[in-house]
Structure 1
Amino acid sequence: MNRLLLILGIAFLLFSCSSKSDKTEPKDEATIKQDQKMEWWREARFGMFIHWGLYADPAGEWKGEKIPGISEWIMARAEIPVAEYEKLAENFNPGKYDAEAWVKLARFAGMKYIVITSKHHDGFAMFHSKASKYNIVDATPFDRDPLKELADECKKQGIRLGFYYSQAQDWHEPGGTYYNIEQGKPHWDPDLKREPLMNYINNKAVPQVKEILENYGGLDILWWDTPRGMTEEAAQALQNVVDDYPDLITNNRLYKGWKGDFSTPEQHVPPSGLDYDWEVCMTMNTSWGYKWYDQEWKSAKDIIHMLTDIASKGGNLLLNVGPTAEGEIPKASVDRLKEVGVWMQKNGESIYGTSASPFFKLPWGKCTTKEVKGHTQLYLHVFDWPKNGILKVPGLKTRISDVYLLSNPNQHFAWRFVDGDLQIHAPSVTFDEINTVVVLKTKSKIEITSNKPTEKEGSILLPADFADIYNPGYGEHALLSGSGTKSVIHNWVDARTRLEWMFSIAESGVFRVEGLVRTSGTAKIKVKCDDKELDAEISATGDRFETVNFGKIELTNPGDQLLSLLPDRDNWNNVELMYIELIKE
Structure 2
Amino acid sequence: MKKLFCSAFVSVSLLFSAQKNEQPTSKMEWFQDAKLGIFIHWGIYSVNGISESWAFFNNYINHDNYMKQLDGFTASNYQPETWAELIKNSGAKYSVITTRHHDGVSLWDSKADKAITTLRDSKAKKDVLKPFVSALKKTGLKTGLYYSLPDWSHDNYDVATRTKKRYDITKEPQRWNNFVKYYQDQLNELSQQYQPDLIWFDGDWEHTFEDWKAPQTLTNLRKFNKDIIINSRLNQHGDYATPEQGVPVVAPDDEYWELCYTMNDSWGYQPFDTHYKTPNMIVRTLADVISMGGNLLIDIGPKADGTIVKEQLDVLENLGRWTKKYPEAVYGTRRGLDSKNYLGKSAFSKDGKKLFLYLDRNKEHLSLHGLQTEVLSLKMLNDNTAKLNFKTDKKGNLDIDITNANYDQDVSVIELSFKEKPKFVEPTLESNFDFNQIINSKNTKQGVYRLAEEVSKTKNIGLFQKYGFTEDGQDMNIKTQNSEIKKWLSKHAEAFYNTGDSLPSGHYDGLTTLSKDRQTLYLFVDGKPNGPIAIKGLKNQISRVRIVGEGSVINHQVFNKLYWSKIPGIVYIDIPEDRLDNNLTVIAVLLDKPVELFRENISVVDSNL
TM-score above 0.5: yes
The aligned counterpart of 1:153 is: 135
Q: CA deviation at 1:269?
A: 2.3
Match of 2:190 among 182, 206, 212: 212
Written as runs of structure 1 = structure 2, the 5 A alignment for 1:175-190 is: 175-178=156-159, 185-187=163-165
Cα distance in 2 between the residues matched to 1:364 and 1:432: 19
- The answer (yes or no) to whether the contact 1:177–1:229 under 8 Å persists in 2 is no
| 2:507 counterpart letter in structure 1 | D
- The answer (yes or no) to whether the contact 2:369–2:397 under 8 Å persists in 1 is yes
Aligned: 1:405 with 2:380: yes
- The answer (yes or no) to whether the contact 1:364–1:383 under 8 Å persists in 2 is no
Write out per-residue CA displacement over residues 302-351 of structure 1, whole angstroms, 9 at most, x where no aligned residue: 11111111111111111100111111122110011101111111112101
Q: CA 1:112–1:398 in 2, change beyond 3 Å: closer, same or farther? A: same
How many pairs are equivalent?
Answer: 459
- The answer (yes or no) to whether the contact 1:99–1:153 under 8 Å persists in 2 is yes
Cα distance in 1 between the residues matched to 2:401 and 2:76: 55
Q: Give the 3-state SS of the residue equivalent to 1:219 in structure 2.
A: coil
Aligned: 1:332 with 2:311: yes
Match of 2:37 among 47, 51, 55: 47
**Sequence identity percentage:** 28
Aligned: 1:240 with 2:219: yes
Q: CA 1:199–1:225 in 2, change beyond 3 Å: closer, same or farther? A: same
Q: CA deviation at 1:145?
A: 1.6
Cα distance in 1 between the residues matched to 2:99 and 2:335: 32
Q: CA 1:26–1:234 in 2, change beyond 3 Å: closer, same or farther? A: closer
The aligned counterpart of 2:366 is: 391
Q: CA 1:90–1:315 in 2, change beyond 3 Å: closer, same or farther? A: same
Written as runs of structure 1 = structure 2, the 5 A alignment for 1:405-444 is: 405-408=380-383, 411=386, 413-418=388-393, 420-444=396-420
Q: CA 1:525–1:458 in 2, change beyond 3 Å: closer, same or farther? A: closer
With structure 1 as the length reference, what TM-score do the two structures score?
Answer: 0.71
Cα distance in 1 between the residues matched to 2:42 and 2:187: 18
Q: Give the 3-state SS of the residue equivalent to 2:212 in structure 1.
A: helix
Q: Give the 3-state SS of the residue equivalent to 1:400 in structure 2.
A: coil
Cα distance in 1 between the residues matched to 2:372 and 2:267: 44
The aligned counterpart of 1:228 is: 205
- The answer (yes or no) to whether the contact 2:265–2:275 under 8 Å persists in 1 is yes
Cα distance in 2 between the residues matched to 1:452 and 1:290: 52
The aligned counterpart of 2:75 is: 94
Write out per-residue CA displacement over residues 399-424 of structure 1, whole angstroms, 9 at most, x where no aligned residue: 11111121236756222114632122
Q: CA deviation at 1:359?
A: 2.9
The aligned counterpart of 2:502 is: 463
Cα distance in 2 between the residues matched to 1:260 and 1:416: 46
Q: Name structure 1 gaps, 5 residues minimum.
A: 1-23, 61-69, 471-477, 501-515, 530-561, 565-585
Cα distance in 2 between the residues matched to 1:528 and 1:179: 37
Q: CA 1:187–1:449 in 2, change beyond 3 Å: closer, same or farther? A: same
The aligned counterpart of 2:242 is: 264
| 2:229 counterpart letter in structure 1 | I
Write out per-residue CA displacement over residues 102-142 of structure 1, whole angstroms, 9 at most, x where no aligned residue: 11111111000000000000000011111145101111232
| 2:69 counterpart letter in structure 1 | L
- The answer (yes or no) to whether the contact 2:144–2:200 under 8 Å persists in 1 is yes
With structure 2 as the length reference, what TM-score do the two structures score?
Answer: 0.68
Q: Which has the higher helix share?
A: 2
- The answer (yes or no) to whether the contact 1:403–1:439 under 8 Å persists in 2 is yes
The aligned counterpart of 2:577 is: none
- The answer (yes or no) to whether the contact 1:177–1:228 under 8 Å persists in 2 is no
Cα distance in 2 between the residues matched to 1:138 and 1:392: 62
Written as runs of structure 1 = structure 2, the 5 A alignment for 1:14-413 is: 28-60=18-50, 70-131=51-112, 132-167=114-149, 169-178=150-159, 185-187=163-165, 196-202=175-181, 204-216=182-194, 218-231=195-208, 232-236=210-214, 237-244=216-223, 245-254=225-234, 256=235, 258-270=236-248, 271-361=250-340, 365-372=344-351, 376-386=353-363, 389-408=364-383, 411=386, 413=388
Cα distance in 2 between the residues matched to 1:172 and 1:523: 44
Q: Give the 3-state SS of the residue equivalent to 2:376 in structure 1.
A: strand
Q: Give the 3-state SS of the residue equivalent to 1:28 in structure 2.
A: helix
The CA RMSD over aligned residues, in Å, is 3.6
Cα distance in 1 between the residues matched to 2:254 and 2:212: 29
Cα distance in 1 between the residues matched to 2:65 and 2:196: 33
Q: Give the 3-state SS of the residue equivalent to 1:292 in structure 2.
A: coil
Cα distance in 2 between the residues matched to 1:414 and 1:433: 23
Cα distance in 1 between the residues matched to 2:110 and 2:315: 34
The aligned counterpart of 2:3 is: none
- The answer (yes or no) to whether the contact 1:363–1:465 under 8 Å persists in 2 is no
Aligned: 1:524 with 2:514: no
Deviates more, 1:90-99 or 1:76-85: 76-85
Write out per-residue CA displacement over residues 237-258 of structure 1, whole angstroms, 9 at most, x where no aligned residue: 423322313111101112x2x3
Q: CA 1:177–1:376 in 2, change beyond 3 Å: closer, same or farther? A: farther
Q: Give the 3-state SS of the residue equivalent to 2:37 in structure 1.
A: strand
Q: CA deviation at 1:493?
A: 6.0
Cα distance in 1 between the residues matched to 2:281 and 2:160: 31
- The answer (yes or no) to whether the contact 2:371–2:423 under 8 Å persists in 1 is yes
Cα distance in 1 between the residues matched to 2:310 and 2:407: 28
Higher relative contact order (CA 8 A, sep 6+): 1
Q: Give the 3-state SS of the residue equivalent to 2:256 in structure 1.
A: coil
Q: CA 1:85–1:71 in 2, change beyond 3 Å: closer, same or farther? A: closer
The aligned counterpart of 2:525 is: 482
- The answer (yes or no) to whether the contact 2:523–2:587 under 8 Å persists in 1 is no
Q: CA deviation at 1:90?
A: 2.5
| 1:382 counterpart letter in structure 2 | L
Cα distance in 2 between the residues matched to 1:499 and 1:283: 12
Q: CA deviation at 1:293?
A: 0.6
Q: Name structure 2 gaps, 5 residues minimum.
A: 1-13, 432-456, 462-499, 510-520, 528-532, 536-544, 546-553, 562-566, 571-585, 602-609
Q: CA 1:326–1:368 in 2, change beyond 3 Å: closer, same or farther? A: same
Q: CA 1:49–1:517 in 2, change beyond 3 Å: closer, same or farther? A: closer
Q: CA 1:177–1:371 in 2, change beyond 3 Å: closer, same or farther? A: same
Q: Give the 3-state SS of the residue equivalent to 1:463 in structure 2.
A: coil
- The answer (yes or no) to whether the contact 1:367–1:381 under 8 Å persists in 2 is yes
Q: CA 1:121–1:293 in 2, change beyond 3 Å: closer, same or farther? A: same
Write out per-residue CA displacement over residues 340-367 of structure 1, whole angstroms, 9 at most, x where no aligned residue: 1111111121011011013325776311
| 1:261 counterpart letter in structure 2 | D
Cα distance in 1 between the residues matched to 2:186 and 2:222: 15
Write out per-residue CA displacement over residues 175-221 of structure 1, whole angstroms, 9 at most, x where no aligned residue: 2254876xxx42499xxxx993322221x2111111111011x1001
Cα distance in 1 between the residues matched to 2:388 and 2:587: 38
Cα distance in 1 between the residues matched to 2:24 and 2:53: 34
| 1:352 counterpart letter in structure 2 | Y
Cα distance in 2 between the residues matched to 1:74 and 1:83: 12
Q: Give the 3-state SS of the residue equivalent to 2:116 in structure 1.
A: coil
Q: CA 1:361–1:352 in 2, change beyond 3 Å: closer, same or farther? A: farther
Q: CA deviation at 1:28?
A: 1.4
The aligned counterpart of 1:541 is: none
- The answer (yes or no) to whether the contact 1:360–1:450 under 8 Å persists in 2 is no
